[in-house]
Amino acid sequence: MLDLTVIPATDTRLPAEPFRGRHLIGGTWVEGAETFGRRSPSHGVVVSHSALGTAADAEAAIAAARRAFDAGDWSRAPAKSRAEVLTRVAALIEANVDRIALLETLETGKPISQSKGEVSGAADLWRYAAALARTLHGESHNTLGTDILGVVVKEPIGVVSIITPWNFPFWILSQKLPFALAAGCTCVIKPSEMTPSTTVMLGELLVEAGMPAGVVNIVLGYGLPVGATLASHPDVDMVTFTGSTGVGKGITAAASGTLKKVALELGGKNPQIVFPDADLDSAADAVTFGIYFNAGECCNSGSRIILHEDIAADFTARVVALSRKVAFGDPLHPDTQVGAIVTPQHRDKIDAYVKAASAAGATVALGGTALQVPGLAGEFYQPTVVTGVTPDMAVAREEVFGPVLSVLTFRTADEAVALANDATYGLSAGVWSENVHTCLDLARRIQAGTIWTNTWMDGFPELTFGGFKQSGTGREIGSYGLEEFLEVKTLCMRIGRSRANWVRA
């Protein structure tokens, strides 16, 4: 019998029939000539049928967004009006948390408690974006001469394509959409084909909140042809994408033909560095949370820890002991902390990384194989800790995107920084030490967009998010997240008739 905490299937009743997802184009719900289904990775039943989008659907949605933007009813509306709609959306999200979270759990495999937290938390992103809408301002220059006034204004960039991933479909959309709308943009959204339904549910709330027709459009389907059309179409002014680094590079290439703006939030291989003087109990708990949160299917996953040699054995033992207590199993049970892996193919990919590390000389201290949950035929993977990892191993360098923790060691602070920066990614990192000078020194030297000290994955709407290196370009949430969707325009205005003629009479 496994020495793990496993929660078997509950008797929770599944929805009577699959959710039916349609496109939202120009304010109208549109059926697809064909549909595609999503099978729950935890329960093995089809939980949604969605319209299968075509290039023509994507083009129609882009045209609707273009008309809405150019008409100006939203793009040139007073910020107060836009903020009022966003605030109504936030209230509607909160009123529908349970309904949205259930489908989020069934399509992603994540625990229902986590889905509820993400959906309710997303409402705060909408409220914060509403507040930012009313703070938009440029600057004036009144010192250019008595006859010149310079004004710099900020305007919405235009039509924005939003392409979202499967791991946090509702949350990540809420990191993008309300900020684009606050800026005055119009949007076309393509959610992942594996988790389309909660985006459609949000579309229903947008209509209910009074969003003008064509301001937000949704096209369901696959990267080819829908995503490719949204990335390359000349009437799209910007693409914002969250997902893998490989797909992000493809989107950048597709967008290059029109030189549209591209914002990318991509992968991570995020280190947590633990010094001997750290609060080891708190650090071990945070490391355990950081690797198993969302089954490790998270760009911010703390997938590698860099431990001082003096504490490496003891700290690893603490994490292994805590890992055995983490509740894996039925995501519909309120006590479950880690649910299913999104697809069988992804589970096999995770397993391949672990087996390759073992073959290269690493030690699997815990887990390293699929997990059978009583009563469920879904895709689960055991909590896994791999020790004896060297920096050249794929498990130490590549994004596994699963509940697999790689353990490396260091002797000096310089060596720890070098290990942390020895990656193509630079999304986030953590430093654990009771010495504030150590924390600040490493925080300034590590190449990552977010540095946590003595914590992991705390986040707030006010604090912007994004990566260095191949973890992406641009920023989300915070005031910088709003700036992404704005163009800057300079007005140079001469006062009176003071300009001397260039052509002399």
Task: Indicate which residues carry an active-site annotation.
Answer: 265, 299
CA–CA separation, 312 vs 410, rounded Å?
9
Beta carbons within 8 Å of 464's beta carbon, 6+ residues apart = 475, 476, 477, 478, 479, 480, 481
Q: Tokens 């009437």 label which residue?
A: 235
Q: Please choose, from the candidates 295, 248, 285, 290, the residue with its C-alpha nearest in 3D space to the C-alpha of residue 271.
A: 290
Beta-sheet pairing, 139-141 with 148-156: antiparallel
E strands of 157-215, at which residues?
A: 159-163, 186-190
For 264, the token pair is 């990318």
Q: How many residues does the chain have?
A: 505
In Å, how far are 196, 197, 425 from 18, measured between CA atoms? 12, 10, 38
Beta-sheet pairing, 46-51 with 35-39: antiparallel
Q: Which amino acid is at 287?
A: V
Beta carbons within 8 Å of 139's beta carbon, 6+ residues apart = 151, 152
Q: Dihedral of CA 216/182/113/193: which sign? A: positive
Q: Do 284 and 324 contact (CB within 8 A), yes or no?
A: no
Q: Which residues pair with 88 in a beta bridge?
A: none
Q: Do 300 and 457 contact (CB within 8 A), yes or no?
A: yes
**DSSP states of 3-53:** SSEEE----PPPPSS-EEE-EEETTEEE--SSEEEEE-TTT-SEEEEEE--
CA–CA separation, 361 vs 500, rounded Å?
79
Q: Tokens 């394509």 label which residue?
A: 161
Q: Dihedral of CA 199/263/66/181: which sign? A: positive
Q: Please choose, from the candidates 187, 181, 170, the residue with its C-alpha nearest in 3D space to the C-alpha of residue 239.
A: 187
Which DSSP letter does residue 460 get? Answer: -
3-state per-residue secondary structure call for 348-359: HHHHHHHHHHHH
Maximal C-alpha separation, the chain: 100
